[in-house]
Amino acid sequence: MCIRDRNKDVTLRPVIGINMSSIKGDFIGIGNNSLNSHFKIGYSLGFEIQKKMSNVFYGIVGLHYSLNGSKYSDYSNSSENMKWEVYDFYTNLHYMHLPILIKVDLFHSNFSAQMGIQVGWLFKATSHNGNRIFIKDDTKWIYDSESSGKAVTNVSFLYNKIDFGIPFRLSYEYKKGVFTLGYYMGLANICLLYTSDAADDLTRVD
């Protein structure tokens, strides 16, 4: 959601919203497990500058902090003497995004469409998961409570710093508020641990 004044040629707008993001491709986990990615909820904060170019066309430049990422399916693996189960597995990707958009008012109504390009800079990436560790004792698996638990790992080195893609938005203006539903199609390969090009999909509600 943002705030704007239709009567001004140049408008500075604060932006706050929630998003759902995932990373396309198959993640390679421990033991070469191929994991499916799922949508994860995040949020975005920032501002945008809007310049009126005609009665229906506007230019928009913004700067957003965005918490993106992806959730993954649970998996397990084992060796001769140890077995571990990974659950509640997700990544947090912390981005600064620079969107550059063209906005078009639709049918002289309160609806508008926006499209352009967006460049992102990743400044931190963390992996979060729970582990259940079992140690083999003769023929039985014994739960190892000391080794099990939650883990948070800095995995920034596994991701490319630069992301880019194409944002699409549909907005509705009500009084001085603007409500936006958007989709971001990532075009860059952002992760090094995927079997194919790993581009991020992002659905936003601002």
pLDDT at residue 196, as a whole number: 47
Q: What is the pLDDT of residue 96?
A: 96
DSSP string across 47-96: EEEEEE-SSSEEEEEEEEEEEEEEEE--EEEE-SSEEEEEEEEEEEEEEE
Number of helices (H), then strands (E), in the chain: 0, 15
pLDDT of residue 206: 46
| pLDDT lower than 70: segments of the chain | 1-7, 25-34, 193-206
DSSP character string of 30-50: GGG-EE-EE-EEEEEEEEEEE
pLDDT, position 37: 79
What pLDDT sits at residue 25?
A: 60
- List beta partners, residue 7: none
| pLDDT (0 to 100) of residue 7 | 58
Tell me, what amino acid is at 35?
A: L
- Tell me the pTM: 0.83
Distance (Å, whole) CA 132 – CA 68: 26
CA distance 156 to 198: 15
